[in-house]
Amino acid sequence: MKRIKIGLNNFKKNISKKIKRIKKEHLLREYFKNNILFISFVVTTVLCSTLLRFFCMNSLENYLSWKAVLADTIIATFIGSFGYLFKPKNRFIYFLSFNIFLSAICMINSVYYTFYTSFASISMLSLTQYIGDVGDAVVENVLQLKDLIYIISPLIMIFVHFKLKKKNYYKKVELKSDRKRKTLKTLSSAGAMLIVFLVTLSSLDVSRFFKQWNKEYIVMRFGIYIYQLNDVVTSVQPKINSMFGYDKASREVKEYYSNIKGPQTNEYSNIFAGKNVLVIHAESMMTNAMYQSFNENEATPNLNKLASEGMFFSNFYSQVSVGTSSDSELTYNTSLMPTKSGTAFVSYSDRKFISTPNLLKEKGYYTFSMHANNADFWNRRAMHKSLGYDRFYSKTDYKITKDTSIGLGLSDKEFFSQSVKKLNKINKENDNWYGLMIMLTNHTPFSETDKYGEYPVNIKETITKEDGTTEEIVYPYMEGTKLGNYFKSIHYADSAIGQLISDLDNEGLLENTVLIIYGDHDARLPRKDYNRLYNYDKENNTILDESDSNYKEYDTYQYELGRKVPFIIWTKDMKDTKYNQEITDVMGMYDVMPTIGNMFGFYNKYALGNDIFNIKDKNIVVFPNGNWVTNRLYYNSQKATYLPLSEEPISEEEIIKNTEYANKILDISNDIIVFDLLNEDKNRE
């Protein structure tokens, strides 16, 4: 009997379990059946964010990061929960609206990442006024087929909507209390997931989340939607902080500079005192182009000549952020870094800046800038006044016709030709002058190849046949590629510089003048474009396979380090003197002001860079995203990895120390600009 009872009890338990399982499965089926629209919204929203990581950060760790997936799911669940407050017939409009909005966020970031290798900021909305001027460049050089894949999300939602409509899904009647109950339950689910997510965060995650400058890391750990929410707060924060955080920022900046030594002298002190200065802002000019030749024809013969005759800083980096050219101007002139949100040129043009033009004006120099573009592009009209330029020659000061235009405006050759005439007048009216000329032609998308002049970027070989005759064979190589077009464009820009030097010499304007040339930033071409340059298989007109022994790997590190831009200081009589040299120590744009300041006899206490001849191989170049480089290594703070650049051992202490320094530099620079801390009148109030 006992066995029978035990058997019956076990049978009952099994039946009970099966019933519970059936009920559970039934409940799950019912839940999915009754919440198809909500589930579709969550799934497609998370799918979009996952695709974004897949296309932007090509590693399994990044695009399948469970933290990012969970974070995006939390946001989608939270937003989706409020959809239940609507009646079924109105619910689709709510879900579709937010689905389109979130898909647009992914699409915008996808396009933005292609161009800047970073994620978009809400602060960039203030820069949309400039898109019209570079619209063709964006469409031709940035927008890609992958950027349109995010449209699939709202299309799936619409497909699901019509399926549900056929099944009379929207005719169901739900009580208001039931809708509230569903909303609260879904919000509770989002809350539970949020708690799990927060528990998994490390102190490093939290620190980088609030600093926001390491955007790739935040997207990898927190997902694109939380990143974008945090970015909104961070973008608004400077305006709020400028009202409430002044005292703290002022105290920290004063403390930082209290440890800075005063001006130091070296063998280059005052070597150019009293000389005129002409600065060439070379648009998208890259150092690697100076080493490039096609059929023994150099891409930049004039730059190469200037580099061989003057001071050539071959390990030089721009330090730009979203402000590109304007960031370069800021850092060159002030030795400050770009702001963490937006751009200083647009958002903080009313600040007080200690700049090269302002300091030279104190020495009696007449200062001017020249750029044959709209004066309000990058807000230069206002910012150039703040930087200390007495006169800004802009688009309205030049004669521009259809025949003299290339790309965004007046061609560089015509710009230089007309500028030399203005410079002649300036030279006659002033004892000393300091001028900036901003080039324009070598700007993306590098598409008007018919106007650049003849410069084939192919491979030509002459072979001798059996009968003794010769035949020239041409391999396409870089012809028809974006990078190939860039070399054509840069060859034109280089020839324009050569023409300028010749015109200046003919007018006698080089006798007491120092010429300074800097590249403002790299060409912003994708890494894959360089693969053909370094791994071309001419026999098959293809790219070598990675397994080929001749294959040259051009990884992320090589790409980042390949973004160097030229920096050249040249005078007519410098050749064969002790100043005619190549400086190979790593150097950044913020090092220019203290370096040339020592040469011309002015000093900026608040410079964040160093005189390269004082610091030499101990220098560190900090980038706005938190990465940094020294002679010894390049450190990627976003991935917390590094590439050794010497055979000397690298210690963890060195990485920690330099990373802390990089963070401090970024904070100090941002506080100086945001809180206008160099404004003595404001500080006395």
Q: Kindly tell me if the per-residue pLDDT of 284 is higher than 60.
A: yes
pLDDT the model gives residue 110: 87
pLDDT, mean of residues 349-365: 96
Any bridge partners for residue 281, and if so which?
438, 518
Per-residue pLDDT band for 126 (boundaries 50, 70, 90) equals: low
Contact 199, 87 (CB under 8 A): no
CA distance between the termini of the chain: 98
Q: Tell me which DSSP letter residue 85 carries.
A: G
pLDDT tier, 8 (very low <50, low <70, confident <90, very high otherwise): very low
Given a contact cutoff of 8 angstroms between Cβ atoms, the answer to whether 509 and 427 are in contact is yes
Q: What are phi and psi of 391, to 5 degrees?
A: -145, 135
> Which of 174-178, 210-214, 509-513 is predicted least confidently?
210-214
Residue with tokens 């030229």: 566
pLDDT classification of 572: cutoffs 50, 70, 90: very high
Query: What sign for the dihedral angle of Cα 587, 590, 592, 598?
Result: negative
Structure tokens at 141: 């050089």
Query: Which pLDDT band, with edges at 50, 70 and 90, does 665 fall under?
Result: very high
pTM of the model: 0.76
Angle between helices 324-334 and 380-387 (to 10 degrees): 10
The one-letter code for the residue type at 652 is E
Segment 135-157 shows an average pLDDT of 73
Which range (264-273, 508-517, 520-529, 571-580) has the least confidence?
520-529
In the predicted model, is pLDDT for residue 283 greater than 90? yes
Residue 240: pLDDT band by 50, 70, 90 thresholds? Answer: low
Tens of pLDDT, residues 498-533: 999 999 999 999 999 999 999 999 998 888 889 999
Asked if residue 300 lies in contact with residue 284, where contact means CB atoms within 8 angstroms, the answer is no
Beta bridge partner(s), residue 434: 277, 367
- Of the pLDDT bands very low, low, confident and very high (cuts 50, 70, 90), residue 148 is confident
Q: pLDDT value at position 243?
A: 64
> How confident is the model at residue 541, as a pLDDT?
93
Average pLDDT over residues 538-548: 93
Q: How far apart are CA 317 and CA 659, in angstroms?
A: 18
pLDDT band at residue 11 under the 50/70/90 scheme:
very low
Q: What confidence tens digit (pLDDT) does each residue in 440-482 have?
A: 999 988 999 999 999 999 999 998 888 888 899 999 999 999 9
Which comes out higher in pLDDT, residue 248 or 635? 635
Average pLDDT of the residues of the chain: 88
| The pLDDT value given to residue 172 | 72
Instruction: Indicate if the pLDDT at residue 422 is higher than 50.
Output: yes
pLDDT at 241 (0 to 100): 56
Question: Which of the four pLDDT bands, split at 50, 70 and 90, describes residue 602?
Answer: very high
Q: What is the pLDDT of residue 22?
A: 46
Q: Is 237 helix (H, G, I), strand (E, B) or coil?
A: helix
pLDDT band at 489 (very low <50, low <70, confident <90, very high): very high
Indicate whether 13 pLDDT > 50.
Answer: yes
Question: Could you tell me if 328 and 345 are in contact, meaning their C-beta atoms sit under 8 angstroms apart?
Answer: no
Per-residue pLDDT, averaged over 153-182, amounts to: 85
Percent of the chain with pLDDT over 90: 65
pLDDT at 134: 47
- The confidence score (pLDDT) of residue 20 equals 52
- The mean per-residue pLDDT over the stretch 660-682 comes to 90
Residue range 17-62, pLDDT digits in tens: 544 554 455 666 777 777 889 999 999 999 999 898 888 876 555 5
Regarding beta strands 433-438 and 276-282, do their DSSP bridges make them parallel or antiparallel, or are they unpaired? parallel
Asked if 457 contacts 484 with a C-beta cutoff of 8 angstroms, the reply is yes
Q: What percent of the chain has pLDDT over 70?
A: 88
Say yes or no to pLDDT of 225 above 50.
yes
For the chain, list the domains and their CATH numbers: 19-243 (no CATH), 275-448+479-617 (3.40.720.10)
DSSP sequence for 94-149: HHHHHHHHHHHHHHHHHHHHHHHSS---GGGGGGGGGGGGGHHHHHHHT--GGGGG
User: What would the two tokens of residue 366 be?
Assistant: 């007449």
Query: Of 125-139, 146-160, 524-538, 603-617, where does mean pLDDT reach its minimum?
Result: 125-139
